[in-house]
Amino acid sequence: MKKTYKIDVDCANCANLMEIEAKKTSGVKDAVVNFMTLKIKVEFEDSVNAKEVMEQVRQNCKRVEKDCEIFL
C-alpha cells in the first residue's frame, strides 16, 4: 500500500534526512520525500497498520529535524 502525506520542512537537506529516517522505519518498504511539493510518499510492507507505522516515521524524522512535521 502506498500513501502520500503533506510535510512541513525548511530545507532540502532536512527533507533528505527525513527520507533516510523514513526508509529505516520498520514497516516501511520505501519512502520518497519531495521538498518542492512538500510531500512524502510512503510504501508500506504488507499487513502493517499504516497509521502506527507513520507515527513511528514522524518520531524518527523529528529526531533528525525537530521543526519538521508530517500531517497524518
The domain 2-71: what is its CATH number?
A: 3.30.70.100
Q: What does the pLDDT look like over 11-33, one tens digit per residue?
A: 999 999 999 999 999 999 999 99
Q: Which residues share a beta bridge with 54?
A: none
What is the C-alpha separation between 68 and 32, in angstroms, rounded?
15
pLDDT of residue 45: 97
Query: Cβ neighbours of residue 68 under 8 Å, at least 6 residues apart?
Result: 7, 8, 9, 10, 14, 18, 61, 62
Model pTM above 0.75: yes
